[in-house]
Amino acid sequence: MSRVGARARGGAVLGFLLLAIPIARLALQAPASAASRPAAAASSSPAAGFHVPAPAKTILKNGLTVLVLERHEIPLLQVQLMIKAGSAADPAGKAGMADLTARLLRRGTRTRTAQQFSEEVEFVGGSVEAAAGLDRTLVAGEFASRDSEVALNLLSDMVLNPSFKEEEFAREQRLLIGEAVSRLDDPEALADEAFAAWLFGTHPYGRSPEGTKKSLAAITRTDVASFYEARYAPNNAVLAIVGDIGAAQAAQHADRYFAAWKKRAVPELKIGEAAQVRGRKVLLIDKPDATQTQIRFGNVGIRRNDPEYFPLLVGNAVLGGGFTSWLVEEVRVKRGLTYFIRSSLLPYRSSGMIRVSTFSKNNTVPETIEVALEQVKRLRGGAIPPEDLDKARNFLAGTFPVRIESPDALAGLTLDIDLYGLDPDYINQYQKRVRAVGIDGVRRAARLVPTDDLAIVILGPAAALKEPLGRLGPVSVRPIDAALE
């Protein structure tokens, strides 16, 4: 998956970064030394604290918000345009519309063919990607800083002047359908996607951002054009520019290339909070030839700007957010039931999810789930050793500066702050807020972590697993090609 695709599909970028979810897409750069770093860059070492200046903010006459962060260590420029609408805005039965619309932006404009567009990007050694996630669509480009005008010219053309040619629509639709079918052969990705659908049900967050074979086939070119007209507006967008460029120059470039984008009314997108699962419901996706079984369980969680975010973030790090967490120690190290296990706090705009993810040999699936649930109950019980709390806080605070060091990660977090209504000084306050979380805060937040009320998804051989899984709750069985129905 591409870097922008990973960020857009994941929703809250920071949640993924800080919970040790593997986002290899972010090309993280080691911090420059204090002596060589300009005043506008982040200063000091992770151990001593650091500071990132507030982005220079400009609002163009058409309503487009432009945020500029100067980073002069390397001659690169990251440009990310966020449309405040993602797959949650897809109509029911047409999941994947926002993503298909985004991908078609690179497939030609009214001034450039798809081939001409690609050639111009490649000529300057740049890259341009577009994808939709749950809450937003992201159009991103990385270029040498000397090519800043080329970058903004290309991105503005693809966003302001898409052609949506019938032949390009048909081609991209076929590609996405092919990708949807191929995901059936990726047990880990399929289990993640199936869990979201099983957990959220008919709520917009239950829709696959990439779509399914059935939903993608139902989308027409007219649907895509209508989605674009309804959601792509400068007053529904934020442009983040991070890298080796002056703030005034970047704002001038943005005005030059985006000023022609016409402001218009955007339909209100109302996404209510998702309902929690009550009791336990188990979905068993039958993969008869599987020798290892994918396991997911959890429930609806908090929205990104919930006051309990930081206490729950620290509690999750204790439970399963790092290599020294309880889940890793008890399930992997002591019992050898898996090579990989994690718990994840995935907060979105109106709701989120709390999820435990792992896999195990078919004959140890019940034991793996049992031991994992014991650790969740242990967290809810509040008996957290001080040293475990310290490790979690140190892990989160210590890795934060490095994880946001690259321009693309910093641009993504800058957009998160806007999208989720976070504290404008969130970046500089992050370490302080993590370290301020005490045992009482974690105990309070841990009550939000479910044990008895659970959505459970198991992907493995039904013949061997259905009977033992019955102890967890009522089991629904589906063939793998109907996993997302």
What's residue 4's pLDDT?
Answer: 54
pLDDT digits (tens, 9 = 90+) for 286-298: 999 999 999 999 9
Domain co-membership, 158 together with 253: yes
Domain co-membership, 357 together with 402: yes
Is pTM, for the whole model, over 0.85?
Answer: yes
Domain co-membership, 323 together with 250: no
Domain finish residue from 258, 292, 322:
258
Q: Which amino acid is at 92?
A: A
Domain co-membership, 143 together with 288: no
* Residues spanned by the domain of 436: 280-482
Judge whether 217 lies within some domain. yes
CA distance 212 to 196: 13
Domain finish residue from 258, 292, 319:
258
What is the number of domains present in the chain? 2
What's residue 322's pLDDT?
Answer: 84
Judge whether 163 lies within some domain. yes
Domain co-membership, 317 together with 441: yes
Judge whether 6 lies within some domain. no
Domain co-membership, 218 together with 342: no
How is residue 443 written in tokens?
A: 């105990």
What CATH number is associated with residue 193?
Answer: 3.30.830.10
Domain co-membership, 175 together with 316: no
Closest CA to 53 of 39, 32, 35: 39
Domain co-membership, 314 together with 437: yes
What's residue 243's pLDDT?
Answer: 96
Domain finish residue from 258, 288, 310:
258
What's residue 485's pLDDT?
Answer: 77
Domain co-membership, 121 together with 193: yes
Domain co-membership, 127 together with 249: yes
CA distance 366 to 384: 26
Judge whether 31 lies within some domain. no
Q: Give me the residue label for tokens 């798809």.
A: 114
Phi-psi domain of 352 (left: phi exceeds 0; alpha: psi -120 through 50; beta: other):
beta
DSSP designation for 107: S
Judge whether 14 lies within some domain. no
Judge whether 226 lies within some domain. yes
Domain co-membership, 242 together with 285: no
Judge whether 272 lies within some domain. no
Contacts 24+ apart (CB under 8 A), 324-330: 324/391, 324/395, 325/392, 326/375, 326/378, 326/379, 326/388, 327/356, 327/358, 327/372, 327/375, 330/371, 330/374, 330/375
Helix H segments across 19-147? 97-104, 114-123
Residue 251 to residues 68, 235, 261, 426, 432: CA-CA distances in angstroms?
Answer: 8, 16, 15, 23, 32
Q: What is the pLDDT along the chain (485 residues), one digit of tens a residue?
A: 444 554 444 443 333 333 322 222 222 222 222 222 333 333 334 444 679 999 999 999 999 999 999 999 999 999 999 999 999 999 999 999 999 999 999 999 999 999 999 999 999 999 999 999 999 999 999 999 999 999 999 999 999 999 999 999 999 999 999 999 999 999 999 999 999 999 999 999 999 999 999 999 999 999 999 999 999 999 999 999 999 999 999 999 999 999 999 999 999 998 999 999 999 999 999 999 999 999 999 999 999 999 999 999 999 999 999 889 999 999 999 999 999 999 999 999 999 999 999 999 999 999 999 999 999 999 999 999 999 999 999 999 999 999 998 999 999 999 999 999 999 999 999 999 999 999 999 999 999 898 899 999 999 999 999 999 999 999 999 999 998 87
Judge whether 48 lies within some domain. no
CA distance 130 to 106: 8
Domain co-membership, 205 together with 321: no
Pair type for strands 454-460 and 65-70: unpaired
